[in-house]
Structure 1
């Protein structure tokens, strides 16, 4: 039986979000309804509100979420009602060319629920952010978007693995292949960049250099594992990284800003045959120009990291176990917990750089 719940909806480009009553249908085959316990406020939600993703308004925002499965549709076997799950936006298909080659973290045909949530009383179909729509008391997703983890984890912390924290950790561990003894530099120390620092620490990097223009973010980076910090307002980050690595540059440089100028810094701050990982999200109009002889002459790898190249079924349970063992401080990413009606205020604090994550707790 369809249910009516409260949710945060972006009704038009740049307009303040609204609390609306949402109709959540029963799950169809391969789908699940999840009772949301917590959901982080991510920059991607703001991009949706600003029309930076597409113009399929109205959007049901929210996607970094954890909760409990309430009901499942026909054919669902991986999760069951009562399971504590983290939601993900890459429900792998198992049949595309990437999956069939044994690389499901690159799945080119990820899927979402086919039944639609709507505005109650109007029947207007909602577009859920990243196929999730978790700024709501309940949401409908594809069952493959639910990853079962240990219920001892805090929902506010666990849900952040659903997007930004996983993107950063995965950029270091999965995409960058950071190994024991490596030198790593991270440019941009917001939520994703600081997660990359935490990932580099988990991987055993010997030296982790955090670069940002905000000393508050650099202080947080130190708490999460950075061994050195560089304020790029005050010194050239390429020269600073080279000075800290005996003149060579870092083995892996992770660019977590998504701008041409910071990407060029990352490119020239790496050692010969080193790796650059782009995990910051650029806007469509941005262009990058590099001397091709430098691309050839410096060797190594230039990579983009999609969702930290994660496989949720593999990575989420492992990272939650590390969190419960005290080896990964996910709680450090939760700056504040807020009620549903404060999402618009959280967007404002995000612009001011005051938070790593505001988290809606139901």
Structure 2
């Protein structure tokens, strides 16, 4: 009798227990793969998230909040800073590029961002051309990220009205005066945006933002004369690292203004998230232990059920090694099937959830990219399968065949 055929027949003989074993391994492997995809998305997002803009200037407050709002379009801004700072920065010898940003409105929950068109060439390079249409050039013209275009079905020439706040209904949550709120919304609804371009996939949070001219906020909200205009933040590409230090020191000393190292602020956020994922790691470890326990119980049950089979195989001349291999092989076969199903399920689950994950977190899941950590997953899972199989196999290996047959 061929070993492979025997292993396969034995596994099919206990369909329910084999299915439960495979299912436990599948769920564990899928969970680990999904966590690896999220971790890789977080690392890539942190790396690509702010481009060359090593220094960011905004209102006093949380440095992490300023970085998240400016580069990831998450959360509320820390406040506003005078627009006159932009002119000063552009004349500063330590500054290579400086772009002001205005935010505060949304369209269907996606942020509307005002920024100079040069931002895209500085961050993504000239090779990133528009997927469709052209760059905005005057008030009311917009370009939209690829995620918005696909999720909302917007095309070149479509028109829409924005709403106050970074998400739908934010103004109600802030408890604004109803009369002022109604007037504000009425003015928002009278201001029409026109889509003139669609960005290619950039694989950053800019894929889920609407971009327009810097002065849109002043036009929509009114009440800001030319001398007292404000912006949400200023993105700065320094010429050198020494220049970055000089910029941070100089502008960080101003009243109601903070200058931050963007990389440090983003790293602080990533560290906080890493600590939060510790709980998920614990859950994953528990799942791995449960999967190993399920394999162990499955093979213990197999040994107890097939004592006479084992005895008969030994009496007809099959070696202890053959018995050992059949039991180890059964555990490995269950493990391999569950592992393959789990890896496929993890990647497919990442593919199905990529739009939702990106919309709510800004993380890009490369769902069909093989993660380096998956090699460790494969080796570890197979190792656990062998270890869980070794105990029952050793039990059958040591028992005398005549005793098994008599019992």
Do they superpose with TM above 0.5? no
Normalising by structure 2, what TM-score? 0.23
Normalising by structure 1, what TM-score? 0.26
Instruction: Please identify which structure carries the higher helix content.
Output: 2
Instruction: Please identify which structure carries the higher strand content.
Output: 1
